[in-house]
Amino acid sequence: MSNNIVESVPGVALAPSRYRNQISKYIVYRDKTCINCGKCVEVCTVGVHQQAGTSSFSRPEEHKCVGISCNACVDSCPQGALSVIINPMMEMLGDYRWTNDLILSTWYQAETGKVPTNGLEYSVGNSGGGFDRLKIKFPENPSIKLKNEEISTAIPLNRRNDSAHRVEIGLPVYGGGMSFGSVGLSTIIGKARAAKAWNTFTCTGEGGYHTTLYPYDDHVITQVATGLFGVREDTIKRVKIVEFKYAQGAKPGLGGHLLGDKNTPEVAVMREALPGSALFSPFPFHSVYSVEDHKKHVDWIKAMNPKALVSVKVSTPTDVDMVAIGSYYAEAHIIHIDGSYGGTGAAPNIAKKNIAMPIEYAIPKVHNFLKAEGVRDKITLIASGGIRTAQDAAKAIALGADGVVIGTAEMVALECVRCANCESGRGCPRGIATTDKELTHHFDSDWSSQRLTNLLSSWHTQLVDILKKLGMRSIQELVGRHDCLEYEGVKIG
Amino acid sequence: MVNNFAEQVINSRERLKDDIMPDKWQTEAEGGCGVVGFACSVPVRGRHIFEPSIQMHNRGNGKGGGIAAVGFDPKHFGISKETLDDCYLLQIALLDPTAKGEVEKDCILPFMDVTHSAMIPTIDDYQEIGLEVKPPDVCQYFVRIKEDVLTQFIKENNLAGMDLRKAEDEFIYQNTFKLNKQFYASLDEKGEKRAFVLSHGRNMMILKVVGYAEQAVQYYQMDDFKAHVWIAHQRYPTRGRLWHPGGAHPFIGLNEALVHNGDFANYHSVSEYLYQRNIQPLFLTDTEVSVLVFDLLNRTYGYPLEYIVEALAPTTELDFDQLPAEKQRIYRHIQELHVHGSPDGPWLFIIARNDAENKKLQLIGITDTAMLRPQVFALQEGEIQIGIIGSEKQAIDAILNSLSKEDKRFHLIADKYWNARGGSHTDGGAFIFTLDENGGEQKKQKKLTCTDKFGRVIKTTENQTHPDLSVIIQTTQQSQSIKERFAACSSMELFEYLKDNLKDWDYNTFRWVCHEMVSMAAGNDQDKTKTLEILTLLNDQRYDTGTKKRSGILEILKLTLHDVFESTKDLSHSDGVYKLIDFKKRNTLRAPRDNEQVLIIDAHDFTPEGEDCDSHLVVAAYNLGWKRFICYGYLGQRFCGCGLGLNTQGVRIDIYDSSGDYIASGIDGLEIFIHGNAQDQLGQIMKSGKLVIYGDAGQTFMYGAKGGNVYVLGNIAGRPMINAVGRPRVVINGTCLDFLAESFMAGDPLNGGGFVILNGIEFDEIRGKFVEQPSPYPGSNLFSLASGGAIYVRDPHKKMVKGQLNGGEFVRLTPEDWQVMLPYLQENERLFGISIEELLVVDDVRKEPEEVYRKVTVAKKKVMVEVDGED
């Protein structure tokens, strides 16, 4: 069997914004002097202007507009009826890490499945550090010239080569754990369907295993987190991967916490708790206070589901390398390190901003340590916590990870605006991070799965392009290639 | 005695440490481990550490093991008793064999008179016993400090007037520090470390290897070496490649060796605390700093053991309030002074020491205030006395098993097993087994006394004896009548008869009866079932045993049950109800045929986890159609009952002997009966079904459980029922260490939700009747942060106070509550013989349920604070 699992790009299809007026970078005004001559339609290369008939125009599709640098329509309009300005909303949208360009370009990819061509910056943010200063060094001429179809983005997840499942995923990317309760069902199912389309995985988070996920069992990771909410033997037995969440990078030292308002009757049923009461997960696992307890914990999972791969998700304290090697000796298959940038707005600020190590420091630390211990090729290293773009993923891999897990990028693909109010009231005004009845039917899982499939499709295209330029046949060749990266010095002034 | 020399001693150490405090104390990462120790009134051979050590392999990773032994026979070394008692036994590990000359020249010969020295003999080929790294050569020296050297030392350090032995102790200690610094710590990581001191105390020694603890015994040929006190440690270092055992436990103070299970969060702080007192750790493990703190408090500050324990594991919360005022005053001072030296985190220390000053040998177990590590203490007092401390009960049973194979004065089952309540006012979280010179009935024995932190003596019941199993069983007049009764009575009737008569029988009669039952069981399957039922009832129930120890009765029953199990046919036959399978024949497993119903699994040789664990065999057999299981011969194998899947109603597993961790975790429908004490992490995420434990249970019981009906005869260790949701219904007849039902979310008990009935009783060891425990719940935390469910606690004297609750409140028991409780108390009565009527009798007066039970439920007011939500 070819190790290129994804033989053709799965089902990309247009999945336009669910809002009538999509937020766009530019605003295109058409005043009443327009004579409906159609000149703008001819000159616009991206399809902003469309005639609705012989006598009128539909509203300009502003989110496609490449901006003032083009101005072709404005310049060609005989009436001077058109003008293009930067949307004043851009000042409010995004932040230094997730710039408005990154949000808009993620929307673009989720809508079209394609790499943005409208001038939006889709690779890096503006944080002034981390992945935003790391650049991939491409040789002027790659050593070998490869065709797209010769390049594989697949990675194996079981490197122990033991009796557990031999799982390969088509992209070095899978979906992070989001519980039912922290997000709604349309989001969860959308993630699962996209995971199936790309032969990769999504993760339950710690809110239980919804029955509607059953058709996607082979693409679901059951998370066993410290609250053990919704974790039953059955939910462990039905999957190929079980993930222990010891900690998350956004809030190491703190367990999960679902506020009473988000604990709706449906959520409470899944967690077998009382609706309306706040649900705490302890920190740490009360049954795991040491590495040999951890081994026992892993053995327990294997006693219930002997074929399961075991993933260990930890945050990135300074001794994360020791934690990783401990997980290896406990016979885990995957060590998943979660750096400090991750998390939605729901993690407490004090934790979110101050505790864990940034992921770009943690990856090489763990990678190098595992290498020195001679076990790097026996365990899969997955990184998460601030992977926003396909380029971030490639950089994380070049730093030493085998693959990445994404969370926020998925939310953005579903039109999250990063307002960071995930936890307030019954949640998300965009209907993503909520189980509130009035908010959840903002979209269905057909739409969400298409958006996410499209995003992964664009990432796939980009990863193939990166590998092609590097002259590599497989994403696995990029692992730990620090020589393929360079750090841009701090600019003074 | 107040030690006036503390300051001088501390000053004298100033020149030893580095001038500049390391800006960051690095510690090698390691987790918890397997630890075990025992103290015995007679000296026992090193080989007895084998069985528990091997069983603890899954608590270590074979990268560091060590043992310590205290209290020897001088003949072994070819020295006099005086030499053994008076001289320091300096044991030096030579990582570089060529360092010997230099070590002697620089650190021994100029200062010490060497009475005797030898290289410890080793086996020829370390690889033969499975070691990957050759252990260091170890040189032994029996030494005293030269008189003029000591005089000079006293003079230089202003120690004039100090007890000479104490000054000599200090010289030995400082000399070792210098040696370690010169030959070990000052050298870099890359393999130039040359030598270090393993131990230097009197009448004690330490050996360690890069391997498992028992390999230290094997390699240094200690199998037949006898000592009164042994401790062993399996380490789980996470760094992969080690070439020397410098970081392995035990570590030394002066006359003590310490092993440790757990790790600290405040290694840095404790190291600074030591550095401020001129002590510099050299081996970079938290175990080393633990014993350095112990030695500082003991030898430099001269604290009695009680205060040392208080400094290490402070008494807090409600427990502190319940101390006498004078103790509070002293403890407050200790806490203020030593809080920075108090290890914070999960830990259990086991210390073996020679209290040479008082001519006592001791084994000490101390647990941390939060009781985060598993720990079990045990005591057996018969012809021989033995006290044992282990991280798990299975290690204790393994020691007893090993000892009784060699010497029938040891018995398979301890008279008493218990947990310590860390930092408590009840036992202080520490127990000390002390061996006094020539205290025993025979001169060859020492006298063993077990005390808690406060000096209260823990004893087994007096005037009861163990059986002598080396005596051949004689026919008795009971013989005919028992056969007749067996034919005529139901198993319950026969049990009642035996129970009522057993107190007057001698051991021979009881053994004869058991022997007769084995032969009757061989007759047909019906009789076999009856025999198993009767023997199991005798094993599970409490009754008057007369002058016989209950542990002795249990030992006989265990052996009898094994006889019955072992006489069962294997799967190559297809007749009969019962079939036996063991590890060797595991591949003969097949679907049940004809009349076959019960699969008896001899778990003895199965691995504790993994594909060769008996839990996998149970799953495979269940998938083939087996539904009834009897599993016995356990040595701590884990996970029994896990993996059978959804809707397993109708499956029943009976478990005998030293069962392991995680039993019944995840079960949905099936029933598990544990005929004895259980270990840690049982019933995690349990969904439904039944779990019955005829004894105590360990740590984190039913963590995250969703349901199930659970009955526990005895006590549960720390943190039961945390984060349990749904509808678990649990009857605990004993009590818990602390943190019961934290974050309990089990709905409304009057409306299908879950609850715990906590009876707070225990059994009188002689009469087998239940009595109230001093408090139904001594812990400071009950039902903390709970948002659902309830605790029904039997507390007729209103001993529990509001301060024990954090978010809960006491409310009056209603008739509706009683109706909900009743079926569970009835089942409890049926299972354990604890009658509801008797539970309602308080001080001989029959009371109403609401006068006896109190309900703890969620407080009306909102206790949750607003914080940010979940990712």
Over residues B344-363, the pLDDT tens digits come to: 988 999 999 999 999 999 99
Cβ contact B238–A375 (<8 Å): no
Which residue of chain B has the CA closest to A176? Answer: B871
Please list the residues that pair with B226 across neighbouring strands. B45
Mutation target to probe the A interface, by most A beta carbons within 10 A, among B24, B784, B870 is B870
CA A321 to the chain's CA centroid: 24
Q: What is the pLDDT of residue A3?
A: 37
Would you call the peptide bond into B346 cis, given omega within 30 degrees of 0 as the criterion? no
CB contact (8 A) between residue A305 and residue B643: yes
Cis peptide bond N-terminal to B776, omega within 30? no
Q: What is the DSSP letter of B864?
A: P
Under DSSP, the state recorded for B619 is H
In this complex, which of A178, A300, A305 lies closest to B665 when CB atoms are compared?
A300
- Residue B762: beta bridge partners? B771
List pLDDT tens digits, range B734-760: 999 999 999 999 999 999 999 999 999
Nearest chain B CA: its distance from A32 CA (Å):
48
Residue type, B451: T
Interface A–B counts its CB contacts (< 8 A) at 212
B831-835 long-range CB contacts below 8 Å, 24 or more apart? Answer: B831/B692, B831/B711, B831/B713, B832/B540, B832/B541, B832/B542, B832/B694, B832/B711, B832/B713, B832/B733, B833/B541, B833/B542, B834/B733, B834/B759, B834/B761, B834/B770
CATH 3.30.70.20 maps onto chain A at 26-86
Average pLDDT of span B180-186: 88
Give B119's strand partners: B139
- Report the gap between the CA of A255 and the closest CA in chain B (Å): 8
Which residues of chain A form CATH 3.20.20.70? 148-487
CA distance B475 to A244: 60
Pick from A227, A274, A296: CB nearest B788:
A274
For the residues B187-209, what does the mean pLDDT come to? 87
- Can you tell me the mean pLDDT for A286-293? 84
B chain contacts of residue A373, beta-carbon cutoff 8 Å:
239-241
Q: Which of A180, A274, A354, A375 to mutate to test the interface with B (most CBs of B within 10 A)?
A: A274
Minimal CA–CA distance to A472: which of A198, A145, A155, A170?
A: A145
**Predicted confidence (pLDDT) per residue in B366-411, tens digit:** 999 989 888 999 999 999 999 999 999 999 999 999 999 999 999 9
Contact A249, A385 (CB under 8 A): yes
Measured between alpha carbons, how far is B391 from B230 in angstroms, rounded to an integer?
A: 15
Q: Minimum mean pLDDT among A163-172, A237-246, A428-437, B217-226: which range?
A: A428-437
Please report which confidence band the pLDDT of residue A442 belongs to, taking 50, 70 and 90 as the band edges: confident
Q: Are the beta carbons of B118 and B143 closer than 8 angstroms?
A: no
Q: What is the mean pLDDT of residues A253-277?
A: 83
Q: Which residues pair with B424 in a beta bridge?
A: none
Comparing CB atoms, the residue among B241, B685, B747 nearest residue A373 is: B241
Among B597, B590, B656, smallest CA distance to B623 is for: B590
Residues 6+ apart with CB under 8 A from A430: A414, A415, A416, A417, A419, A442
CA distance A426 to chain B (A): 11
Mean pLDDT within B224-246? 83
pLDDT averaged over chain A? 89
Q: How far apart are CA B770 and CA B713, in angstroms?
A: 11
Confidence of residue A36 (pLDDT cuts 50, 70, 90): confident
Whole-angstrom distance, CA of residue B704 vs CA of residue A300? 15
Of B29, B261, B742, the CB nearest to A322: B29
Is B747–A274 a contact, with Cβ atoms under 8 angstroms apart? Answer: yes
Contact: A290, B236; criterion CB under 8 Å: yes
The pLDDT, as a whole number, for residue B23 is: 57
Q: Which of A401, A405, A397, A403 is nearest to A470 (CA)?
A: A397
Check if the beta carbon of residue A401 is closer than 8 Å to that of residue A364.
Answer: no
Min Cα–Cα distance to chain A from B686, Å? 7
Q: How many CB atoms lie within 10 A of CB A79?
A: 14
Q: Return the bridge partners of A258, or none.
A: A279
Is pLDDT larger for residue B405 or for residue A352?
B405
Q: Scanning every residue of chain A, which has its alpha carbon at the shortest distance from the alpha carbon of B29?
A: A322
The region of weakest confidence among A207-211, A419-423, B122-126, B271-275 is A419-423
pLDDT (0 to 100) of residue B394:
92
Closest chain B CA to residue A228? B704
DSSP state of B548: B
Distance from CA of A220 to the nearest CA of B (A): 18
Chain B residues whose CB is inside 8 A of the A306 CB are: 611, 616, 643
Q: Give the whole-angstrom CA distance, residue B612 versus residue B620.
A: 12
Q: Would you list the domain boundaries of chain B?
A: 6-458, 478-564, 577-675, 683-865
pLDDT at B285: 85
* pLDDT tops 60 at residue B239: no
Contact B725 A229 (CB under 8 A): yes
Of A182, A228, A303, the CB nearest to B639: A303
How many whole angstroms separate alpha carbon A71 and alpha carbon A81? 13
What does the block give as tokens for B340? Answer: 């920075």
Show residues of chain B in contact with A271, CB under 8 Å.
Answer: 725, 745
The pLDDT of residue A73 is above 80? yes
Q: HEC profile for B716-727?
A: ECCCCCCCCECC
Distances (CA, A) of B603 to B286, B490, B581, B682: 37, 30, 9, 18
Contact B856, B761 (CB under 8 A): no
B chain contacts of residue A346, beta-carbon cutoff 8 Å: 868-871
pLDDT in tens, B636-693: 999 999 999 999 999 999 999 999 999 999 999 999 999 999 999 999 999 999 999 9
Give the torsion through C-alpha atoms of B557, B559, B562, B566, to 10 deg.
Answer: -140
Return the percentage of chain A with pLDDT > 90, whole number.
Answer: 63
> Best residue in A287, A323, A378 to probe B by mutation, most B CBs within 10 Å?
A287
Q: Which residues of B touch A325 (CB under 8 A)?
A: 238-240
Tell me the nearest-neighbour CA distance from B717 into chain A, angstroms: 12
Interchain contact, A291 vs B236, CB within 8 Å: yes
Q: Which residue of A has its CA nearest to B617?
A: A303
The per-residue pLDDT for A2 is: 36
Domain A148-487: what homologous superfamily?
Aldolase class I (3.20.20.70)
Chain A environment of B263 (Cβ under 8 Å): 290
**Which residues lie below 8 Å from residue B447, measured CB to CB, with a gap of 6+?**
B41, B385, B435, B436, B438, B439, B440
- Choose between A62 and B380: higher pLDDT: B380
Binary contact (B704, A274; C-beta < 8 A): no
Q: How far is the alpha carbon of A459 from chain B, nearest alpha carbon, in Å?
A: 24
How close A236 gets to chain B, by Cα (Å)?
A: 9
Secondary structure letter of residue A199 according to DSSP: T
Residue A160 has pLDDT above 70, yes or no: yes
Q: pLDDT exceeding 90 applies to what percent of chain B?
A: 82
| Angstroms from B53 CA to nearest CA on chain A | 15
Question: In chain A, whose CA is at the least distance from the CA of B858?
Answer: A277
How much is the pLDDT for A87?
Answer: 95
B660: tokens are: 């392991």
Q: Do B870 and A260 touch (CB under 8 A)?
A: no
Contact A326 B31 (CB under 8 A): yes
Residues of B in contact with A269 (CB under 8 A): none
By C-alpha distance, the chain A residue nearest B698 is A287
From the list A257, A296, A302, which residue is nearest B661 (CB)? A296
> Cβ separation of B699 and A163 shorter than 8 Å?
no
* CATH number of A26-86, picked from 3.30.70.20, 3.40.50.720, 3.30.420.40, 3.40.50.300: 3.30.70.20
pLDDT for res B869? 40
Integer angstrom CA distances of residue A267 from A260, A396, B96, B637, B723: 10, 35, 64, 37, 16
Instruction: Compute, in degrees rounded to 10, the torsion defined by CA atoms B293, B296, B297, B302.
Output: 170
Structure token pair of residue B322:
């319940």
pLDDT of residue A493: 41
pLDDT in tens, A383-392: 999 899 999 9
3-state SS string over B251-320? EECCCEEEEEEECCCCHHHHHHHHHHCCCCCCCCCHHHHHHHHHHHHHHHCCCCHHHHHHHHCCCCHHHH
Between B238, B668, B723, which is nearest A291 by CB? B238
Inspect the interface and report whether the beta carbons of B706 and A272 lie closer than 8 Å.
yes
Any residues with CB less than 8 A from the CB of A472 and at least 6 apart, and which? A146, A151, A478
Q: Does the pLDDT value for residue B864 go beyond 50?
A: no
B541-578 pLDDT, tens digit per residue, is 999 999 999 999 999 999 999 999 999 999 999 899 99
What's the gap in Å between the CA of A365 and the closest CA on chain B?
Answer: 14
Across the interface, of A226, A299, A347, the residue whose CB is closest to B868 is: A347
pLDDT exceeding 70 applies to what percent of chain B? 95
Residue A344: is its pLDDT beyond 90?
no
**Mean pLDDT of the region B713-724:** 96
Q: Is the pLDDT of residue B863 over 70?
A: no
Q: A344 to chain B: which residues are within 8 Å by CB?
A: 871
Q: Which residue has the higher pLDDT, B443 or B515?
A: B515
The pLDDT of A23-43, averaged and rounded, is 91
Domain B6-458 has what CATH class? alpha beta
**A196 in Cβ contact with A216 (< 8 Å):** yes
User: Under an 8 A CB cutoff, do A257 and B867 touch?
Assistant: yes
pLDDT band at residue B866 using 50, 70 and 90 as cut-offs: very low
Pairing of strands B668-674, B688-693: parallel
* Residue A112: burial class (beta carbons within 10 Å; 0-12, 13-18, 19+): buried
pLDDT surpasses 60 at A1: no
B33 versus A126: the higher-pLDDT residue is A126
